[in-house]
């Protein structure tokens, strides 16, 4: 796994395991949500300073973003897209 893919996978893995949305993490880190999404898709190359802010916001050490999964474990894919909206309330 290349480093950019490893960092992207770990950021998303940690974010999802903590139940934090992209919107919330981006807001608390001070970046745009679309930039965070691009980082998780490996289309952006974040700076160390930004990774440090993300790690601090998630409450992990920066080194957690560089942890390689065991060869016996393949990285899981995560659910894509937004959560389905709840039932709408009708007028009246």
- 47: confidence class by pLDDT, cuts 50, 70, 90: very high
- 42: confidence class by pLDDT, cuts 50, 70, 90: very high
Query: In this structure, is residue 82 part of a structural domain?
Result: no
Q: SS3 for 10?
A: helix
Query: In this structure, is residue 90 part of a structural domain?
Result: no
pTM assigned to the model: 0.76
User: Structural domain of residue 15, as residue ranges?
Assistant: 3-61
Average pLDDT in the 12-19 region?
91
CATH code, domain with 46 = 1.10.260.40
30: Cβ–Cβ under 8 A, 6 or more apart, which residues? 53
Query: In this structure, is residue 32 part of a structural domain?
Result: yes
Report the number of distinct structural domains present in the chain: 1
Query: In this structure, is residue 76 part of a structural domain?
Result: no
Residue spans of beta strands (DSSP E) within the chain: none
Query: Is the Cα torsion angle 76, 3, 12, 63 positive or negative in sign?
Result: positive
């Amino acid at each position: 796994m290349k480093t950019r893919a490893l960092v992207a996978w770990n950021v998303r893995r940690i974010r999802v395991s903590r139940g934090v949305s992209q919107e919330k993490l981006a807001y608390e880190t001070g970046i745009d949500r679309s930039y965070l999404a691009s980082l998780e898709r490996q289309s952006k190359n974040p700076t160390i300073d930004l990774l440090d802010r993300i790690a601090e916001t998630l409450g992990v050490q920066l080194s957690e973003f560089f942890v390689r999964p065991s060869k016996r474990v393949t990285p899981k894919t995560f659910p894509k897209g937004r959560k389905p909206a709840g039932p709408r309330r009708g007028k009246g």
